[in-house]
Amino acid sequence: MIKFISALLFSVIATTSSAAIEVQDEMGTFSIEQTPQKIVVLEYSFIDALATLGISPVGIADDGKTHSVISQISEKIKPWVSVGTRSTPNLEIIASLKPDMIIADFERHATIYEDLKKIAPTLVLKSRGETYADNLVSMVKVGQAVNQEEKIKQRLAQHNQRMDAFAKEINSDKTFMFSVANAKGIWMHSPVAYAGGVISRLGLNSPIPEEDQKAYISATLERLVKANPEYLLVGKYGEETIIDSFEKNPLWNTISSIKEKTYTETNPFLWSKNRGMIAAEIMAQELKTLIK
């Protein structure tokens, strides 16, 4: 585990001087003249990073749903202004907040990078579709950008100690899988999805280890039966989802997790959106509680 931590820390390059803070991000070199005080974030994972450091963003692209930020994180930060959706943040509202820094997602916001830069220095990192390891690297870069590199590295070391402890306590050879469901379908989170990465980090097995090319895999009931997870966690978006129809089909009861009563519904905002050290540790605790 020491090697894992070291690899993460040395994979991130940052320099700090009296003139500027510089961080290597997805667009090249991010530079800011002084420690930012007013920060706008355009993805949930960056909120986790700032909350870890005791910093409250002034604006968040929260999709207009404050409850999307899990309570364990929202209680650590001050009330914020919604700057719209993650896919199409409102540039006018962002500008009105007069931020010192914006933290954006490479996949969602690379196309509006130049517009964001006109408002404030913009740090572009991986978020959407990121792996668990990607997220930890991004965490360190956020810490560097706000001039708290040592603090974030200390927290990372603590995080790894906690995850090691959870792995020893859980110590299961069963297969675990998280999926999200809505009225239109269900998507299995593969080993390269964030939730799949947390599961792997805890030494747990995936029922679909061969599915390592895509993070999210649309599945039929027959595909779920084939995967046959021994522990299945599902985050439902909406009161009515495709799970309702699955439960009426005899095939549903052939899945190991249904037969063994290890199927559970969990918070999709925690397991799918609020990625970071705080979220991962809560997920680990949930898994520990589920073990039979």
Q: What is the pLDDT of residues 66-99, one digit of tens each?
A: 999 999 999 999 999 999 999 999 999 999 999 9
Question: Helices 277-290 and 149-170, interaxial angle, to 10°?
Answer: 10
**What phi-psi label fits residue 131: left (phi over 0), alpha (psi between -120 and 50 degrees) or beta?**
beta
Whole-number Å distance between alpha carbons of 251 and 223: 11
pLDDT at 63 over 50: yes
Contacts of 192 (CB under 8 A, 6+ apart): 131, 212, 213, 214, 215
Query: Which residues share a beta bridge with 84?
Result: 89
Q: Are 287 and 202 contacting, i.e. CB atoms less than 8 angstroms apart?
A: yes
Whole-number Å distance between alpha carbons of 144 and 14: 7
pLDDT at 212 over 90: no
What pLDDT is stored for residue 129 in this prediction?
A: 86
pLDDT at 10 over 60: no
pLDDT digit string, tens, across residues 174-201: 999 999 999 999 999 999 999 999 999 9
Whole-number Å distance between alpha carbons of 73 and 273: 12
DSSP classification of residue 66: G
In the sheet that holds 81-82, the strands lie side by side as 81-82, 59-60, 39-41, 101-105, 122-125
- Identity of the amino acid at 86: R
